[in-house]
Amino acid sequence: MCYEPDAVWTPTDMNDQLTLDVRLNERAAATNTVLPGLRVGRLLTIGERYAEWRGTSDGRLVFDEMRRRARGLRERGWTHYSHKAIIETIRYDRAIAVGPTGGYKINDHFASRLARELMGDYPDLAGFFETRELRSA
């Protein structure tokens, strides 16, 4: 079910955006509509949004492609590389292959989480990406 707003309302600042998010969330709960990033009573954390995205076909494809490219770089002698650069090349290659309507959906905020997951799951990639301490859950 798709949500259609009753009236046009444009948020002007962060408080207005949060109010809009709460309104959408309430409407979604009342109509059994699932909106990305929202749950009844609260917004999802970035970690929860990442976990949801990783379960999608885009999430699986991007993760697999990032692993393939990182291993390729490692095999060619790189000891570390930019996870953001790899993600941008994935976006670019997909855009060229399928055109403007078929690219992967990759939230920039997920880049470091992808890098951490790859380094944690694959010992040959441990330490390959530089990451900072996470500031949010």
Q: In this structure, is residue 132 part of a structural domain?
A: no
pLDDT given for residue 104 in this prediction: 67
> Going by C-beta distance under 8 Å and a sequence separation of 6 or more, which residues neighbour residue 15?
none
- Residue 65 sits in the same domain as residue 26: no
Residue 50 vs residues 75, 76, 83, 130: alpha-carbon distances, Å = 28, 30, 16, 19
- Residue 21 sits in the same domain as residue 72: no
Q: What is the pTM of this model?
A: 0.67
- Residue 61 sits in the same domain as residue 121: yes
Task: List, for residues 40-82, the tens digit of each pLDDT value.
Answer: 556 888 888 899 999 998 899 999 999 999 999 999 999 999 9
